[in-house]
Amino acid sequence: MNSLPRERFPSPVPSPASHEQAVVVGGGIVGTCCALYLQRNGVQVTLVDPAAPGDSTAKWSCGQISVGEIIPLSKPGLLMKVPGWLMDQTGPLALRPSALPGIIPWLLRFMACARHSRIESIAQAMATLTKDVFADYAPLLDECDDKALLLQRPIMQVFDGPEGVERERGHMELRQSFGFSSQVLNAAEIGDLEPTLAGRFSHGILLPQWRFVSDTEGFIAALTESFENNGGRRIRTTALSIDEDSGRATGVTLANGERVAANHVVVAAGASATRFFSQLGIDVPLEGVAGYQALLPEPGVEFRHSVIYADGGFCFTPMRRGLQIGGTIEFAGKNAKPNFKRAEIILAKARRVLPELNVQRHEFGVGYRPFLPDTKPIIDRSRRLPNVLMAIGHGQLGLTLGATTGRLIADLAAGRTPKQDLAPFSAYRF
């Protein structure tokens, strides 16, 4: 497949006269990209996160750069499926009974987005972000030593029968209207693209503009290394609070007692961002949804592409660390412990598709995706503390939208008018 053209950008040259400092809270993919784009603007940046570089929610993801994933998770008829989520804990989306009382307000907002008019409106807004993903990643990846972090191969969907493709027709047409193409595949085409699946599936869809990364952990670690090589500072601890004076943020206080002064503070802490909401003056229904993955270091099969098995509710992604299999998500409630039986279910389903899978060595992982009911992120400025910027709620699209969010946050910090209209991503839309 032909790769998308990559626009080249000159390396940033910080101005010697610039004394601006920023603190980015959250060292996952979104926070790291925010730090990199601020750094490109000549800002001295401190990145704060308690985990090691790369050990974040995006590590335990399918690794897809899903530029056409603009359709919200909410779908028509969703209300009728909630009882099934409670009864069937083996499905691709599960709801722990203990989580139900606390999550009802979130679910009601979520289901309100299932109307056709809302789906179209959300898709239109999301398309304005995803159309620039590769151009926004290009300058960041050019600064990394490893030039094979992003694999220039499309993604496939496969289905058990023709009805699966037909269910996707409306979504395919909606994506097409915003410039994201797709191609229906037959058995021969599936086998040619992915020999491992030859004879196993006869119905599929090719998503030619989507891409995937070679290693979700290594991708973020490489970007972090580039940030540090260019003078950035990364502190491995927790940010407890935002320091403020006279209606503006002055920096952050860390768990180790250190205070880091800053002209700008960026909150990009994923599901943990809720602890800052009262200081930011926002009331946002952010829910951390558990996403489970299984990693097979020696899978015994070879994949060329990232493949979504739509009817099974999971995907296969070949990475340097091994074959990562996942996609199942669970509404578990606040502070719930991981239920790795969910990952065991994924592995059992994968073996039904590929009985030859070698599962003797495996690793299970979970990442908590920060979901908002309309599945749109927040990219905004706090009204209470105007020099605090927010980059939260990216759900399953953190890896996809990391660089684009970083560019937009840097624009807001510099007082530039962003290329995209950020009104649909306001923290105050709720």
Question: What would the pLDDT profile of 282-297 be if each residue is shown by its tens digit?
Answer: 999 999 999 999 999 9
State the pLDDT at residue 328: 77
Q: Where are the domains of the chain?
A: 17-66+119-144+212-284+374-430
Sign, CA dihedral 45-51-54-56, equals: negative
3-state SS of 131-161? CCHHHHHHHHHHCCCCCCCEECCCEEEEECC
Does 261 score more than 60 pLDDT?
A: yes
State the pLDDT at residue 334: 82
* Beta strands, E only, 268-320: 287-296, 306-309, 314-319
User: For residue range 152-188, what is the model confidence (pLDDT) as tens digits?
Assistant: 999 999 999 999 999 999 999 999 999 999 999 999 9
Beta partners for 75? none
- The answer to whether domain 17-66+119-144+212-284+374-430 has CATH 1.10.1060.10 is no
Task: Tell me the pLDDT band of 359, cut-offs 50, 70 and 90.
Answer: very high
Beta partners for 185? 204
Instruction: Retrieve residue 79's tokens.
Output: 């209300």
Does 92 score more than 60 pLDDT?
A: yes
Whether 159 and 169 have beta carbons less than 8 Å apart is answered as no
3-class SS of residue 195: helix
Average pLDDT, the chain: 92
Enter the DSSP assignment of 162: H
Alpha carbons 288 and 223: distance in angstroms, whole number: 25
Please state the rounded mean pLDDT for residues 320-339: 89
User: For residue range 21-68, what is the model confidence (pLDDT) as tens digits?
Assistant: 999 999 999 999 999 999 999 999 999 999 999 999 999 999 999 999
